[in-house]
């Protein structure tokens, strides 16, 4: 786990139970879930295999070991997991170097959290090398710390990344609001005991206890997040 700026502590507005906001990256703040799939399609085409579009729902949001491993097994491609992981990261980096579109509402939400000094962490299953490149566009000053998928013993859907972020901020996971876009990320946040806001990016996700589903990040602001914890 690498801190991007000094931790902001646990200050919140008087009377608010919200202690921190923990944000997923791909598909939540940046419109890149499709980038990963495009890269996977391109690499496997070079290996002589066509990916079934239905597999996209299987690999979205998960750790690279799971998604890459699934695709190797599903296609029977003659490539090692380690080699494929390198190719996927390189292909993704080429794409985000060309363009890195933010999700609607992302810039506004980050600016609001910074303005009110809400401790905020970026929590992603992507590797550190990817996160650091994306942070240059998102603005590292918006985040007290970031947690990468290759920095925890178990990444999403396990709770480890969100527990690590809460511990790094010195806050109670039960008083954190998480914003996610995939079932894998939601499972991780819920297992950590956090309240979850879901903005589905690829596959639909149903509401549940301590889980609120919205159509777009534009529906999410600080008042909304504080209301979730107060409830």
Task: Write out the catalytic residue numbers.
Answer: 24, 26
HSE-up of residue 138 (Cα within 13 Å, Cβ side)? 31
Is the alpha carbon torsion for 128, 146, 185, 216 positive or negative?
A: negative
Where is 179: in which H helix or E strand? strand 176-180
Please name the residue that has the structure tokens 């491993």.
Answer: 69
DSSP 3-state assignment of 190?
A: helix
**Residue 213 DSSP class:** E
HSE-up of residue 13 (Cα within 13 Å, Cβ side)? 12
**Rounded to a whole number, what is the largest CA-CA distance in the chain?**
59
């Amino acid at each position: 786990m690498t801190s991007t700026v000094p931790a902001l502590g646990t200050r919140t507005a008087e009377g608010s139970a919200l202690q921190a906001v923990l944000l997923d990256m791909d598909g939540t703040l940046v419109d890149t879930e499709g980038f990963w799939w495009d890269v996977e399609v391109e690499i496997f085409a070079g290996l002589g295999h066509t990916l079934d579009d239905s597999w996209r729902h299987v690999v979205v949001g998960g750790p690279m070991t799971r998604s890459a491993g699934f695709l190797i097994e599903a296609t029977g491609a003659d490539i090692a997991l380690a080699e494929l992981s390198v190719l996927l990261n390189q292909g993704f980096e080429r794409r985000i170097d060309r363009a890195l579109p933010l999700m609607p509402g992302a810039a506004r939400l980050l600016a609001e959290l910074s303005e009110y000094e809400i401790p905020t962490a970026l929590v992603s299953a992507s590797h550190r090398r990817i996160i650091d490149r994306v942070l240059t566009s998102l603005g590292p000053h918006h985040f007290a710390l970031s947690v990468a998928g290759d920095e925890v013993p178990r990444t999403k859907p396990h709770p480890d990344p969100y527990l690590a972020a809460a511990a790094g901020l010195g806050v109670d996971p039960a008083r954190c609001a998480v914003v996610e876009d995939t079932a894998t990320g939601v499972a991780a946040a819920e297992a950590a005991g956090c309240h979850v806001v879901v903005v589905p990016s690829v596959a639909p996700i149903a509401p549940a206890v301590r889980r609120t589903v919205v159509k777009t990040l534009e529906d999410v602001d600080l008042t909304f997040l504080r209301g979730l914890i107060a409830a």
